[in-house]
Amino acid sequence: MKIPQHVAIILDGNGRWAAAQKKPRSYGHKAGAENVEVICRAADKIGIKYLTMYAFSTENWKRPEMEVKILMKLITEYMRYCEKNAVADHMRIRVIGDRTILPKDLLEAIESAEETTKEFTGLQFTIAINYGSRDEMIRGIRKMSADLKPEEMTEETLSKYLDTADLPDPDLCIRTSGEQRLSNFMLWQLGYAELYFTEVPWPAFTPEELMKAVEEYDRRDRRYGGV
């Protein structure tokens, strides 16, 4: 079976999953955070080398203030928890996105997790926080323009100025909970990725569901524009 080297997941459906159980949205977000560890370990077991999850977008700030506060608190708590578990699993943690407006405690948790795990060679786990692909490209182009002449700019050079400079492009992108769009997630990097959409909401996305996505990927014929 072909195993994708890099899998990207758009985590969707926490709120709808909670509503279906007559629970508040915060209950869904908490369950979703807990499921991250489950899927990280399943991905590592399958043989996936890189896993990237879309946790909080640049557009998510538009949500109700209380929900945003709850999400920031949950993500901060998760980063601390993730760091402890990463040591046992030898998992490296990276965070992509614009950090300039993140709360101080979350920023400290991110920096601690990245520093602690920077030499680990297990699953390479990336979390997108305050991430938007268009924002990423604008930030990258600004940096590149300061360093290079126009004639020196290529696809390869721009890739080196993106948040994902040290990561391979995803082979497979999964979106949970039925929506079929990328929502400003890794638009540059997903140019030739296989897309997989499932009705299953993120808190209910199990290792078995991950395997279904990998099996579907195995059935695809990736020609990259060739015949």
Residue 35 bears catalytic tag: no
In order, the DSSP letters of 158-174 are: HHHTSTTTTSPPPSEEE
Q: Would you report the helix, strand and coil content of the chain in percent, each value rounded to 5? A: 50, 15, 35
Q: Residues 6 or more apart from 123 whose CB is under 8 A from it?
A: 40, 43, 44, 48, 49, 50, 51, 89, 91, 92
Q: Give 180's contacts (C-beta < 8 A, 6+ positions apart).
A: 197
12 in catalytic set:
yes
- Characterise 32 by phi-psi region: left (phi > 0), alpha (psi -120 to 50), beta (else): alpha
User: Token pair of 171, please?
Assistant: 């082979």
Q: What residues pair up with 172 in beta bridges, in sequence order?
A: 7, 194
Q: Which residue among 35, 44, 60, 184 is the active-site one? A: 60
| Identity of residue 77 | E
- List the catalytic residues: 12, 60
